[in-house]
């Protein structure tokens, strides 16, 4: 097995093409005896050559399949690398999209926070103004009520004074009326008595009894 296939083929060809000596018939027996081992050796050599050829064909087939597998593996590796690049690109796109959405959401959140802070500040200002207005209204109402109570108290005091004065005036007027009535009564009684006496005297002058009337 140490010789190559080409060396074995050349050796077989040289042995098969070796010239024969026709003039030496005496040595025919010896030549026949030598040819048999040579043929056996040639046969073995050719067998080895065929075996090596088959082995070489097998090795070539294995090599072709290995090369084909290698090409397929290279293509598969290239496809995987391409898929990996696409995946990395998609991942990068997804990451960039996530960052963009996060930044957009952050801006929206900041805008909403600013709007809520502004609304809260405005509401606090309105609340403070309403509280101040309500406090002022309570103060004004308390002042109005105090003034009203003061006015009512003054009016009640004046009414009490007027009532007292009216009572005094009424009593004085009634006293004067009663006094006048008493004076008039006395005067009427005197006049009635004088008239009665005058009529009585006149009846007596005519001879009439005043008791009958």
What digits encode the pLDDT tens for the residues 51-100?
888 888 888 888 888 888 778 888 888 888 888 777 777 777 777 888 88
121 exposure class (CB count in 10 Å sphere: 0-12, 13-18, 19+) = exposed
pLDDT of residue 153: 92
- Tokens matching residue 109: 């959140």
Cβ-based neighbour number of residue 128 at 10 Å = 10
- Higher pLDDT: 39 or 28? It is 39
Cβ-based neighbour number of residue 8 at 10 Å = 19
Task: Count other Cβ atoms within 10 Å, centred on residue 53.
Answer: 13
Comparing CA positions, the residue from 46, 54, 36 lying closest to residue 14 is 46
Domain residue ranges of the chain, discontinuous segments joined by +: 40-169
* pTM, rounded to two decimals: 0.34
């Amino acid at each position: 097995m140490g010789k190559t296939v080409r060396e074995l083929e050349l050796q077989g060809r040289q042995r098969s093409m070796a010239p024969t000596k026709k003039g030496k018939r005496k040595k025919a027996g010896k030549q026949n005896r030598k040819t048999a081992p040579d043929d056996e050796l040639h046969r073995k050599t050719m067998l080895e050559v065929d075996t090596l050829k088959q082995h070489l064909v097998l090795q070539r087939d294995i090599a072709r399949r290995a090369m084909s597998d290698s090409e397929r593996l290279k293509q598969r590796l290239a496809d995987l690398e391409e898929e990996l690049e696409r995946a990395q690109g998609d991942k990068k796109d997804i990451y960039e999209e996530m960052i963009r959405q996060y930044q957009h959401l952050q801006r929206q959140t900041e805008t909403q926070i600013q709007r809520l802070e502004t609304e809260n500040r405005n509401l606090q200002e309105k609340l403070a103004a309403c509280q101040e207005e309500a406090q002022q209204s309570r103060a004004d109402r308390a002042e109005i009520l105090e003034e009203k109570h003061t006015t009512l108290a003054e009016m009640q005091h004046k009414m009490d004074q007027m009532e007292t004065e009216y009572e005094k005036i009424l009593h004085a007027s009634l006293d004067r009326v009663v006094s006048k009535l008493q004076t008039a009564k006395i005067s009427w009684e005197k006049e009635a008595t004088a008239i009665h006496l005058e009529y009585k005297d006149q009846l007596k002058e005519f001879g009439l009894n005043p008791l009958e009337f």
